[in-house]
Each structure stands twice: as C-alpha cells, then as structure tokens.
C-alpha cells in the first residue's frame, strides 16, 4: 500500500500547512488514527502509558520493534516514526547498528532520537547510511533523571540561543524534521522561522510547523498526570471505567448475556 506522506511531502508542508503527528503503540489504535493524522510516532512514551513505568528510560529496542510492527500493520498507509530508546544511540556505531535493526525488522519510515547539537554527528552518520532521522530538542524525557525532572526550556537568552543552534546542527546533519518539546512558545516560533525543515511542537505553542501529542493524554486515558499543554479531546478513562462497571454489574446481576447475546 502506498504511503500518504513521504519525506518530500513532509518537507514541502513547511509554510503550507501544519503537520499532524500523534503517538500510536498498537494496531488497533493506529488504524483508528490513520485517516486523520500525517505521521504516527511510536514514542518511547509507551513505556509509561502502555507499560506503566515512571519514565521512558527502561524502554528497550525489542519493545519498540514489537510496537512499531503492530502500528505499521494497523496503519499501512501512514508515515511511521519509531523512537530510538534511551541508551541505544550513544555512539555512531551503536546508533547505526540499532537503527538498522529497527529498519530491518519493521516497516517504519524513520527513527527519532533525542538530543542537542552534540548528537549531530550521530544523525549525520545515520542519514548518510540511508536512515531517515527526526530530531527531538528542548525538554528531553530521556534526560528526566539526570536533570531531576521535566524542565521547560528557552526561558533565558542562553537557552534560546542553544535551541537555535541545536536545530541548525541537526538540520545540517540531515534530519528531515525536528520535534521541539516543552519550550517557551516565542522561542519555538523563532526556531521554526529560522530553520528550513518542519519543527513539530509539543508544549511549544502554535508558531511551529505542526503538533504532536501522546494519544493516551489527548484521549484522557492516562490519569497519572496531565501536562499543562495537553488538551483532552475525550474523557477516555471515565468512559471506559463506566462501560466496564456496567458490564461487571450486568454479569453480577445476570442481565448479561441475555437471549440476544446467546446461541
């Protein structure tokens, strides 16, 4: 099946229309999202929302490959990006080995890795070996332990200048797109204005070239905490709990299964 989006279309969207990106972790949901979004991201956030862990750091390469396969199967016409998990791209050699493993074992179109300008060498190594790379700058969830929490970036001039430098270096290294997370809106807007490739924001305001959200947040399924930037488009957790409560009550009282649901 041909893909709705390609890297060329993603690059050409800049200045034309905002890109819509959403995470997906399985075939069921990927299929539901396929029609409406441009890009599905198999984010390592699945380690929190899907696997119940406190942060993304314990996500493994095999776990990402498993979920990426499910997403590609469920949404064969979607452009799919797979996160490289923590600790899998510390050197050029390791990054290429692991990104190659993702490409060989799934049908994803690109990988995403977190990091500032210091990761440009790794991005260049991957792109020069045929691996399409999406960067991820600003608040980096994989750095939550070393930074002691989730810290918004771009609050002062030094931080704003670093973000600009990060985006420029990743672009020069061949990244086709950059996710910018948890950054003051005016700074993210400036980055998007100064960089030629699409800058997709999450918690980075409306002046960027597209938006990405974690689906379990925007559908109101993840109840542990809700970041300020998340708009809940559905009260998913409440709806599901109500439905399951009703099912349990009907089983307990003998209402289900009635004649209608019996052979």
- What amino acid positions are annotated as catalytic residues? 181
Q: Which of residues 153-182 bind ligand KIV (CB under 6 A)?
A: 179, 181
User: Using the rule CB under 6 A, is 214 a contact of ligand KIV?
Assistant: yes
Secondary structure (H, E, C), 114-183: ECCHHHHHHHHHHHCCCCCEEEEEECCHHHHHHHCCCCCECCCHHHHHHHHHHHHHHHHCCCCEEEEECE
User: Using the rule CB under 6 A, is 43 a contact of ligand KIV?
Assistant: yes
Rounded-to-integer distance, Cα 196 and Cα 111, Å: 19
Span interacting with ligand KIV, options 41-49, 71-79, 87-95, 162-170, rule CB under 6 A: 41-49
Q: Which of residues 84-103 bind ligand KIV (CB under 6 A)?
A: none
User: Using the rule CB under 6 A, is 217 a contact of ligand KIV?
Assistant: no
- Closer by beta carbon to ligand KIV, 43 or else 198: 43
Pseudo-torsion of CA 64, 70, 75, 78, nearest 10°?
Answer: 20
User: Using the rule CB under 6 A, is 140 a contact of ligand KIV?
Assistant: no
- Other residues' Cβ atoms within 10 Å of the Cβ of residue 24: 29
Residue nearest to ligand KIV (CB): 43
- Closer by beta carbon to ligand KIV, 84 or else 120: 84
Sign of the torsion angle spanned by Cα atoms 3, 205, 222, 233: negative
Residues that bind ligand KIV (CB under 6 A): 23, 41, 43-45, 83, 136, 179, 181, 202, 212, 214
């Amino acid at each position: 099946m041909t893909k709705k989006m390609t890297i060329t279309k993603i690059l050409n969207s800049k200045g034309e229309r905002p890109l819509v990106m959403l995470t997906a972790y399985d075939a069921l949901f990927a299929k539901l999202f396929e029609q409406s979004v441009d890009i599905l991201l198999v984010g390592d956030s699945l380690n929190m929302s899907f696997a119940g862990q406190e942060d993304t750091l314990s996500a493994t390469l095999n776990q990402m490959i498993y979920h990426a396969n499910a997403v590609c199967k469920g949404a064969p016409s979607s452009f799919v990006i797979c996160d490289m998990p923590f600790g899998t791209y510390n050197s050029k050699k390791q990054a290429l080995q692991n990104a190659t493993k993702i490409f060989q074992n799934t049908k994803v179109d690109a990988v995403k890795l977190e990091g500032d300008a210091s990761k440009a060498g790794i991005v260049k190594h991957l792109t020069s070996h045929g691996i399409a790379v999406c960067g991820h700058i600003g608040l980096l969830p994989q750095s939550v332990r070393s930074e002691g929490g989730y810290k918004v970036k771009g609050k002062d001039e030094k931080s704003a200048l670093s973000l600009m430098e990060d985006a420029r270096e990743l672009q020069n290294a061949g990244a086709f797109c950059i996710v910018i997370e948890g950054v003051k809106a005016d700074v993210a807007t400036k980055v998007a204005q100064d960089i030629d490739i699409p800058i997709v924001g999450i918690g980075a305001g409306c002046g960027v070239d597209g938006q990405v959200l974690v689906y379990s947040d925007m559908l109101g399924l993840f109840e542990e905490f809700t970041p300020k930037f998340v708009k809940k488009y559905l009260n998913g957790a409440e709806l599901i709990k109500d439905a399951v409560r009703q099912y349990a009550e009907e089983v307990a009282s003998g209402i289900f299964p009635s004649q209608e649901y019996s052979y």
